Amino acid sequence: MRKNEMDMTSGKIWPKMLSFVLPLALSSLLQLLFNAADLIVIGNYAGASALAAVGTTGALINLIVNIFLGLSVGANVLVARSWGAGNKGGVSKAVHTSILTALLGGILFSVLGIVLCRPLLEMMNIEGEVLDKASVYMRIYFAGLPVIGLYNYGSAILRAVGDTRRPLVFLSIAGVLNVLMNLFFVIVLKMDVDGVALATILSQCVSTCLVLLTLLRTTEAYRLDPKKLSLDPFCFRELVRIGVPAGVQGMCFSISNVIIQSTVNSFGDYATAGNAAAGNIEGFVYVLMNAFHQACLAFTGQNMGARKYERIDRILLTALGWQFAIAFTVSYLVYLFRHTLLGIYINESDTQAIQYGMMRMQVYMRAYFICGFMDIFSGMLRGMGYSLSPTLIVLFGTCLLRVAWVFLVFPAYKTLTCLYWSYPVSWTFTALIQAVFYITHRKAAFRRSEAFWATENAS
């Protein structure tokens, strides 16, 4: 096993998980800095309307691209399973199917995003100057979607074999470039949202090229050979079976978030700007928790492939314990310094926007670790081969509950605090259902895995 790969099927779990999670979390933090740099520069040099324009696009962008990027979850599980089983041919087929899917899917969803962005923004009660600026930002973003897709799928392949270090280096380089280009385009060239969107895409091109070069140059089974790019029927079916439900889950999240974002927009530009800044700050906490979700996908996938079923429960308990300790501590610190953090994004003169941001953070930060529990169970179930069930649980336990909250509970109070409480309630409800499903269905997953490998060995 070379230094950039990791054997997750033997030895103590917790040191390997932390070794996996730390570079991944730092990589995700750097990726989030792309958007943070956009918001900080825009908020301080272009005003509240530009900040609202960039901030309000997040839920809508996720709505369109989540199906596409959700397939990268399938790539992660598929490569991890074959890697854990020592099936080099299976790893190679999964890699080439995944990369070609990323390229073709990126082009398709790029066109859809460019065509649909303005009509969808209008449906979200966005008007006037904010609408025009948000449309420009989204069109540039979607033009670069094939590049974003290739990075996400390539990174999923590297994570599946335990390599989270090199993506960290690549994103460090791209992150520095993104900040420098943001400052140059907005301050020197006097560009607006078009400048920050362009900086994000150009910097993403750099990290994508570095990931692809890594796959092209490796001598391991996950080496990318352009001549072998094809859609292997079995791999593509598995990619779709595991990835599409994950993408649908993300899309359902986005639909509920779009509905909530539309309600926030009805409170005015200051509420939209404060909500956007608070959401971006919370994102730094979320990526720390999501790193454990990614770890559960890879660790569970490799151990299912190696048929080390006795390690599965230990993987879950390790992830839950470390995620709680880290998320609870960081959430408390963010809550404690919320006013100072919001001041980084929002000009101090926009006091109303800061107050709206604090309102959101007072609700979210107290219960954010529960969202991490929900993601860990989702990662465990997908790593074990369940695809549709986690999606249905999230659909009913989170998305529909939030929508029902907006239409049934919120009208009785009509305050942003009431609206924001829909999140902790839905996180708790969904995490409990997932825990029950995991306890009652994990042995069935082990039996299905045994039957699968018995069939493979016979053939």
The closest of 138, 153, 150 to 243, measured between CA atoms, is: 153
CA dihedral over 33, 37, 43, 44, signed as positive or negative: positive
Least confident of 7-21, 29-43, 431-445: 29-43
Domain coordinates in residue numbering, the chain = 16-452
pLDDT over 90 for what percent of the chain?
30
Contact 272, 133 (CB under 8 A): no
Nearest 10 degrees: Cα torsion 373, 376, 377, 380: -160
pLDDT at 134 over 80: yes
What does the alpha-carbon distance between residue 454 and residue 132 come to, in Å, rounded to a whole number? Answer: 58
pLDDT tens-digit readout, 22-70 = 887 887 777 676 666 667 777 777 666 777 777 777 767 777 777 777 7
pLDDT tens-digit readout, 401-421 = 988 998 999 999 889 999 999
Show Cβ contacts of residue 417 under 8 Å, excluding neighbours closer than 6 positions. 359, 362, 363
Show Cβ contacts of residue 458 under 8 Å, excluding neighbours closer than 6 positions. none
> What is the three-state SS of the chain?
CCCCCCCCCCCCHHHHHHHHHHHHHHHHHHHHHHHHHHHHHHHHHCCHHHHHHHHCCHHHHHHHHHHHHHHHHHHHHHHHHHHHHCCHHHHHHHHHHHHHHHHHHHHHHHHHHHHHHHHHHHHCCCCHHHHHHHHHHHHHHHHCHHHHHHHHHHHHHHHHCCCCHHHHHHHHHHHHHHHHHHHHHHHHCCCCHHHHHHHHHHHHHHHHHHHHHHHHHCCCCCCCCHHHCCCCHHHHHHHHHHHHHHHHHHHHHHHHHHHHHHHHHCCCHHHHHHHHHHHHHHHHHHHHHHHHHHHHHHHHHHHHHHCCHHHHHHHHHHHHHHHHHHHHHHHHHHHHCHHHHHHHHCCCCCHHHHHHHHHHHHHHCCCHHHHHHHHHHHHHHHHCCCCHHHHHHHHHHHHHHHHHHHHHHHHHHCCHHHHHCHHHHHHHHHHHHHHHHHHHHHHHHHHHHHHHHHHHHHC
pLDDT at 393 over 80: yes
* pLDDT of res. 454: 66
pLDDT confidence tier of residue 294, bands split at 50, 70 and 90: confident
What does the alpha-carbon distance between residue 157 and residue 162 come to, in Å, rounded to a whole number? Answer: 9
pLDDT tens-digit readout, 264-274 = 888 887 888 88
pLDDT confidence tier of residue 453, bands split at 50, 70 and 90: low
* pLDDT of res. 1: 45
Contact 130, 52 (CB under 8 A): yes
pLDDT confidence tier of residue 456, bands split at 50, 70 and 90: low
Tokens representing residue 419 in the block:
């609206």
Average pLDDT over residues 108-114: 90
* pLDDT of res. 143: 92
pLDDT at 2 over 70: no
* pLDDT of res. 369: 92
Write down the mean pLDDT value for the chain: 85
Mean pLDDT is highest, among 40-44, 173-177, 253-257, for: 173-177
Least confident of 150-154, 403-407, 446-450: 446-450
Least confident of 200-209, 225-234, 269-278, 436-445: 269-278
pLDDT at 455 over 70: no
* pLDDT of res. 457: 58
